[in-house]
Amino acid sequence: MAVTYRKILVPLDGSELATQALGPAQLLAKQYGAEIILMRITPSVESRIEFTPDLQIENYGLREQERLVEEAGQALERWCEDLKIHGIRAHPVMGIGDAAEKIVDYVTEHGVDLVVMSTHGRTGLAHWAYGSVARKVLDAVPCSVFLVRAVALQS
């Protein structure tokens, strides 16, 4: 039975470590003629309503959330354009909330064949405190997962 990948999801969190999954994903997409879905989930920002000096109500949390989403969307668009230059079909997907939960939901609802993502290499207390999105995705998605051990680049 031959393995075929048509939809490859690459979750990105805005870090250099996460983008290290793009190289393997690009190679696999070329090999299988697959499309790449670049996903960025921004965390929910707590609503913070305050009165301005002229007694208008301002929701600073909402403004911050909108800024994060806009910046993330622009970054995804740039990555998609780069992939398209290399002959790979790609499109961005944005979300707000818990990254692992949103990734699993998307994979399940959209028939993704493969998730390619990097690990951030946290161990010990940091792993316990932040959890592992990669671990949660690996345990919950109904498709294959290709984990890239991300390495911090020395400058």
Residue ranges per domain, the chain?
Answer: 7-42+77-149
Homologous superfamily of 7-42+77-149 in CATH? HUPs (3.40.50.620)
Beta pairing class for 49-51 and 57-59: antiparallel
| pTM score | 0.83
At which residue do the structure tokens 């939809």 appear? 7
Question: What's the CA gap between 53 and 45, in Å, rounded?
Answer: 23
Closest CA to 9 of 130, 151, 97, 141: 141
pLDDT tens series, the chain, 155 aa: 678 899 999 999 988 888 999 999 999 999 999 999 999 998 887 655 565 566 666 656 677 778 888 999 999 999 999 999 999 999 999 999 999 999 999 999 999 999 999 987 554 444 444 458 888 999 999 999 999 987 776 55
